[in-house]
Amino acid sequence: MALTGIALVTGGAGFIGSHIASALTTNGARVRIIDDLSTGYRENLDEIGGEIDFIHGSLADDNALRRALEDVELVFHEAAIPSVPRSVEDPRQTHVASVDSTFSLLLAAKEKGVRRLVYAASSSAYGDKPTLPKVEDMLPEPLSPYAVAKLVGEYYAQVFTRVYGLETLSLRYFNVFGPRQDPSSQYSGVISRFIGDLLSNRRPVIYGDGEQSRDFTYIDNVVDANLRAAETTKGIGQIINVANGERITLNELFKELKELTGRQGVEVDYQQPRAGDVTHSLADISRAREFLGFEPKIDLRAGLQLTMDWWKKSRFAQTDS
């Protein structure tokens, strides 16, 4: 990647951020990470593989933020508290981590002369509209504080492009999964929790009847979309879905994982639906194809296998054994 300056990854010790940092170092970029390790892990930094400049700090700390942005040309903004349930329990924390921090980052990036910021937006902004697939120009109907916070970040990014000339692209992620996603947290993605429970012979929990569907997206596809967003000349100031463009119900997903893990005897623990969860999610990825030249390279089953192979060798499996 041809950069004259540094690429900053906020939340770079987290699941998605650490994968983006890994890809950047592989491509020869100079990489800096800022992370307060509230939801990220130092172990993820160890897996990046290249040389990075790590700042242990929060975007809410003005001194740490300005130090992080020194000589930065490109920002990948992944820092957040990535959980709908947690945002329902503690909306203030989610607001501070996502809305206040995103605004502070955009303002400082403008003042520091950053060229482009790629923002990690969320498909939760669409809410529970029955219309499928989800298209970027649909009116948002967020159902949770997390969804609202992520949506506000999109609006701020667009305003900073239109008013101040800071190049931004907002990538609406759909249910990202893969290696380094923490299965031990009750707020983690459903795939990592299913794999962890199945390989430990525990009954996975599904909130609702399991017929809700999701467009699960393997992490490598998301990283590819981010790298393309960093270099494209199209779609500046736009919102872009990043997904596989296919959906599967949680019941079908659980059946698939039982086959992959060989744990056919494990059954689901169905519990009451959670506030803020949507019923169905499916992305139209036409805009990603048009603006980014994006095409998913790893399908769901291949991604599930790769995730499970990693999990068996990870610290999470060692903790459970």
Catalytic residues: 146
Residue 241: C-alpha distances to residues 13, 133, 195, 230 (Å): 24, 11, 26, 15
Residues 179 and 314: beta-carbon distance below 8 Å: yes
Q: How far is CA 81 from the centre of its chain?
A: 10
> Whole-angstrom Cα distance, residue 235 to residue 237?
6
E-assigned strands of 110-218? 116-122, 167-173, 176-177, 205-207, 213-214, 217-218
Collapsed DSSP state (helix, strand, coil) of residue 52: strand
Angle, vertex CA 36, rays to CA 12 and CA 82, nearest 5:
65
Please tell me the distance from the alpha carbon of residue 239 to that of residue 155, in angstroms, as a whole number: 10
Secondary structure of residue 177 in the 3-state scheme:
strand
Q: Residue 200 gets which letter from DSSP?
A: T
- Beta pairing, strands 213-214 & 248-249: antiparallel
